[in-house]
Amino acid sequence: MNVIKETVLKEWCWENRITNPINVTFSEKQVQNQSRIDDIKSTQNFRHFKNVLNFKTFGNGYNRFGKQLKMLVVREVSSNLRHHLHCIIEQPKRFEIQEFEDLIRKCWKSTHFGYYEIHLEKPPTLEREDGWLHYILKGRTKLNLMDSIDWENTFV
């Protein structure tokens, strides 16, 4: 049954691809003020990032009209048990790539668990977009793909 659910989920991700994407890996501080990160804290931390980024992108339109960036957010724990996030974030057309990447970095570093190691890539080809989507949906490092997607912060 899980295989069927994961297949349907992957198909849904392919059918709801984010246009004008930026591929992002966010490292997270594993401990902050004697508080160890977990999935709940990771979701709360990313929600803060998302709120700040959307407000800086859309201003009051984010709160008043619900304008927001499309993003797919996947939680992952590496083999050495370090929490991190893989994302696809929509780049607004009004931002140059470097300007938007700088904004992403600034917003992430302002969060409680935001670590300075961030990898951003503007995929140069459709093949690279496909490759990143395959990579973040891989099952090798996840117990359950459905639970690995941060549904509270994913918006497509």
Residue 12 placed within a domain: no
Quote the pTM value.
0.91
Residue 95 placed within a domain: yes
Rounded Cα distance, 88 and 78, in Å: 19
Residue 17 placed within a domain: no
Given a contact cutoff of 8 angstroms between Cβ atoms, the answer to whether 89 and 24 are in contact is yes
Given a contact cutoff of 8 angstroms between Cβ atoms, the answer to whether 123 and 133 are in contact is no
**Residue 126 DSSP SS3:** helix
Residue 5 placed within a domain: no
Residue 27 placed within a domain: yes
**Residue 23 DSSP SS3:** strand
* Angle at the Cα of 140 from the Cα atoms of 28 and 36, rounded to 5 degrees: 25
Q: What is the pLDDT of residue 146?
A: 82
Which residue range forms the structural domain that includes residue 52? 22-148
**Residue 127 DSSP SS3:** helix
CA torsion 105-107-111-113 (nearest 10°) is -20
78-100 pLDDT, tens per residue? 877 889 999 999 999 999 999 99
> CA nearest 129: which of 45, 13, 36?
13
10-52 pLDDT, tens per residue? 888 888 899 999 999 999 999 998 999 999 999 999 999 999 9
94-144 pLDDT, tens per residue? 999 999 999 999 999 999 999 999 999 999 999 999 999 989 988 776 667
Residue 16 placed within a domain: no
- Kind of pairing, strands 71-77 and 21-28? unpaired
Q: How many domains does the chain have?
A: 1
Residue 82 placed within a domain: yes
**CATH number of 78's domain:** 3.30.70.1910
Given a contact cutoff of 8 angstroms between Cβ atoms, the answer to whether 86 and 25 are in contact is yes
Residue 112 placed within a domain: yes
